Chains A and B, each alone.
Chain A
Amino acid sequence: MTRGNNTEATTREHRRAAHGPRRSRYTTRSIVVSASVLVAIAVVGVVTLSTGAIYVAPVDVVRTLLGNGSRITDFAVLDLRLPRVLVAILVGGALGMSGAVFQSLSRNPLGSPDVIGFNYGATTGGLLVILLFGGGVLSTAAGALIGGLVTALAVYLLAWQRGVRGTRLVLVGIGVSAVLQAVNFYLIVNAKIADVARATVWITGSLNNVGWEHVWPMAIALALVVPMLLAGARWLNMLEMGDDAAAALGVPVERSRLYLIVAGTAACAIATATAGPIAFVALTAPQLAKRLTRSTGAGLLPAAWMGALVVLAADFAAQRIAGSGTLAVGVATAAIGGVYLGWLLRRTRR
């Protein structure tokens, strides 16, 4: 299956090369799609900011955001709701990018970090910090980041056999994630009940209780990782054509793959550290973006916008439709993602 895609992509590249240097990354279509998704993010964001216990009219939301709000709207919009919206956008964007990187690397739509278990590793790291050291926001985030990176390296090394192939990476990841799920379970069962409730909410993926103290560390971390990912994107598009073709084009195959794995895992782990492992976003967002833009490359930016929209919309649904904040955003994305996944697999069946 992967080989079929691969040759197809290669021939398409050849055809494009024959027709002259057309850059696939910035087609009109992908610009229009990206702009529409950004508008949708803005709309859902404003709706989320205006609804809740205190209703603020959308016009007032915009006015408050521009710095001309009253005391009440300042409190409701800027203090309570804005951090949550920003975190949702950042988390979704990071997950979308990370998913695009891994799906492109493994040349498989199922090769996303939530299937191959990097966010289980991040969860293990975060849980260890919460349960053993009673960690705060920053130390939990650090734990998740280290956990995710260690897992990624372990999977990479275990899948190594004279180079790493996409399918083997995915299957080894499935095995490793089973171990990590078991470890996570053990950690939760043997913890104090107060920690357990907190940890359980965290591991399902939740944006409840998110404040400004979550926004800043995340924004700074992403400001470091996102340029790294964008810099690696040119290798990614060449790696997609196959290892041999990429090597012929002068790409250091294994070294660039390791670099992309580390950077992609970092993005995923940063998101996990803040909101817990929100399921299926990294899986669905790049695929949705790819279908809408109809582009052949990895499409990191469209995937990021789409991820932000998915998490924002899922959090809105979980928050306002289910009510009372009992339903975590992770449950909503899992429900949407599960259905989407089945459809995806059925459609790509050969």
Chain B
Amino acid sequence: MTDTIEKPVVAARRIPGKRLLGLAVLIVALVVVALLSIAVGARSIPLPTVLHILFHRDTSDAAFSVWDLRIPRTLMGLAAGASLGVAGAVMQALTRNPLADPGLLGINSGASAAAALAVSVLGLTDLTAFVWFAFGGAAIAGVLLYLIAGRGGASPVRLALAGTAVAAALTGLTQGLTLLDRQTLDQMRFWTVGSLARADGATLGRVIPFLAVGLVVALLLARPLNALALGEDAGKALGAHLGRTRLLSLLAITVLAGAATAAVGPLMFVGLAVPHMVRAFTGPDQRWVLPCCALAAPTLLLAADVIGRVIAPQEIDVGVVTALLGAPVFIWLVRRSKVARS
């Protein structure tokens, strides 16, 4: 456990220069990747044309590609990435567990199973309707995880195992649904792995309010989460409301993971890897970790999406790419961490 809880207070004024540099690098990387995501795609459009279209929208096919396909897709990647990254960071802080991730622990699978259920059984097609099911599914998966793993003191290994079990059962449910419903198999495939390809302006508009609320709540939680990192007693002594912090954190995780999953499907590992990368230069202070995750996670997600678009003749879904990139990070964490040495 010692490597999971560092002392934020000690680290607070140690490396301000490193942090500012890291922040600058993150912002530049995000802008570059976002531009790449708009410039690169199935239809090859020269970069000057892309830039021209960005500032002078016309009725050409190229303009359609850029404005109606790539820009919504990029914005969706930004929004979903930021949500998953922040949800992962909050989850790792809340559970004090370096292996926590909404995808790995089954929260995203819960959202995805509930949404798939709503689509196939109730015939809902409108995202505003089934996003609530996604929230419900995410919340149920969270509660299941809590019940199974045991409150508070669950060890990282136990939580990861319980989460995998929840995820496996719920993914089985989603798979069963897609199998029973051959006709919608094609559309529902997206519920088994994440994809940004379906993103459009309308979907984006519907999930943005939820994601914005979730992000604001999460960012406001930075200070109480710092207190929580010191342990229950020290946190209480510092005047933190532990119960309220836990509840609000769970709410933020549910809203962020649920809405992101409703929009792009269950993505794994984004919330796991990003907080670790970010903490390498910010230290454990959540007031830096959370905003930097909100910048770094979309960078990673969009980069994965761009890689998936260019690497093969047929597009590879972003969920596949993030799994391929994220799993090595997870295995490295497992090998490095003390938690798995028993």
Task: Contact check, B316 vs A186: say whether CB atoms are below 8 A apart.
Answer: yes
Task: Contact check, B179 vs A1: say whether CB atoms are below 8 A apart.
Answer: no
Task: Contact check, B316 vs A174: say whether CB atoms are below 8 A apart.
Answer: no
Task: Contact check, B161 vs A110: say whether CB atoms are below 8 A apart.
Answer: yes
| Chain B CB within 8 A of A345 CB | yes
User: Given A175-B330, A185-B320, A342-B144, are A165 and B340 also a contact pair (CB < 8 Å)?
Assistant: yes
Closest to B162 in A: A345
Chain B 164-195 interface 0/1 with A at a Cβ cutoff of 8 Å (1 = within)? 11101110110110111010010001001100
A-B residue pairs in contact (CB < 8 Å), sample of 14: A165-B342, A171-B157, A178-B268, A178-B326, A182-B193, A182-B268, A188-B189, A204-B175, A331-B179, A334-B169, A338-B165, A345-B165, A346-B147, A349-B148
| Chain B CB within 8 A of A132 CB | no
| Chain B CB within 8 A of A28 CB | no
Task: Contact check, A342 vs B148: say whether CB atoms are below 8 A apart.
Answer: yes
| Chain A CB within 8 A of B324 CB | yes
A contact patch SS: helix
| Chain A CB within 8 A of B314 CB | yes
Q: Which residues of A contact B161 (CB under 8 A)?
A: 108, 110, 115, 170, 345
Chain B 312-342 interface 0/1 with A at a Cβ cutoff of 8 Å (1 = within)? 0010110110011011101100110001111
Q: A302 CB to closest chain B CB, in angstroms?
A: 23
A26 to B126, CA, bound (A): 60
| Chain B CB within 8 A of A223 CB | no
| Chain B CB within 8 A of A54 CB | no
Task: Contact check, A178 vs B169: say whether CB atoms are below 8 A apart.
Answer: no
Q: A119 CB to closest chain B CB, in angstroms?
A: 11
A345 to B134, CA, bound (A): 25
Q: A242 CB to closest chain B CB, in angstroms?
A: 11
Task: Contact check, B323 vs A172: say whether CB atoms are below 8 A apart.
Answer: no
8 Å CB contacts to B: which residues of A97-115?
108, 110, 114-115
Task: Contact check, B331 vs A175: say whether CB atoms are below 8 A apart.
Answer: yes
| Chain B CB within 8 A of A219 CB | no
Q: Which residues of A contact B147 (CB under 8 A)?
A: 342, 346
| Chain B CB within 8 A of A37 CB | no
| Chain A CB within 8 A of B231 CB | no
Task: Contact check, B314 vs A190: say whether CB atoms are below 8 A apart.
Answer: yes
| Chain A CB within 8 A of B245 CB | no
User: Given A110-B165, A182-B323, A201-B179, are A167 and B193 also a contact pair (CB < 8 Å)?
Assistant: no
Q: Which residues of B contact A183 (CB under 8 A)?
A: 320, 324
A128 to B1, CA, bound (A): 41
Closest to B181 in A: A326
Interface size on A, residues (CB 8 A): 51
Task: Contact check, B172 vs A279: say whether CB atoms are below 8 A apart.
Answer: yes
Task: Contact check, A338 vs B176: say whether CB atoms are below 8 A apart.
Answer: no
User: Given A158-B331, A279-B172, are A179 and B323 also a contact pair (CB < 8 Å)?
Assistant: yes
Closest to A2 in B: B342
Q: Which residues of B contact A334 (CB under 8 A)?
A: 168-169, 172-173, 176
A346 to B339, CA, bound (A): 21
Task: Contact check, A176 vs B180: say whether CB atoms are below 8 A apart.
Answer: no
Q: Which residues of A contact B157 (CB under 8 A)?
A: 167, 170-171
Task: Contact check, A185 vs B331: say whether CB atoms are below 8 A apart.
Answer: no
| Chain B CB within 8 A of A70 CB | no
A1 to B159, CA, bound (A): 13
Task: Contact check, B179 vs A328: say whether CB atoms are below 8 A apart.
Answer: yes
Closest to A200 in B: B179
| Chain B CB within 8 A of A209 CB | no
| Chain A CB within 8 A of B160 CB | yes
16 extra interchain contacts, Cβ-Cβ under 8 A, other than A167-B339, A182-B320, A201-B179? A3-B342, A171-B99, A174-B104, A174-B160, A175-B331, A182-B319, A185-B317, A185-B320, A190-B314, A197-B185, A334-B173, A335-B172, A341-B165, A345-B161, A349-B149, A349-B150
Q: Which residues of A contact B193 (CB under 8 A)?
A: 181-182, 185
User: Given A171-B334, A185-B192, A334-B173, are A115 and B164 also a contact pair (CB < 8 Å)?
Assistant: yes
A182 to B317, CA, bound (A): 9
Task: Contact check, A172 vs B324: say whether CB atoms are below 8 A apart.
Answer: no
Q: Which residues of B contact A1 (CB under 8 A)?
A: 155, 158
Q: Which residues of A contact B320 (CB under 8 A)?
A: 182-183, 185-186
Q: Which of A115, A170, A337, A345 is the most central at the interface, judged by chain B CB atoms within 10 Å of its CB?
A: A345
Q: Which residues of B contact A341 (CB under 8 A)?
A: 165, 169
Task: Contact check, A114 vs B341: say whether CB atoms are below 8 A apart.
Answer: no
A334 to B330, CA, bound (A): 26
A7 to B185, CA, bound (A): 50
A108 to B173, CA, bound (A): 25
Task: Contact check, B341 vs A165: say whether CB atoms are below 8 A apart.
Answer: yes
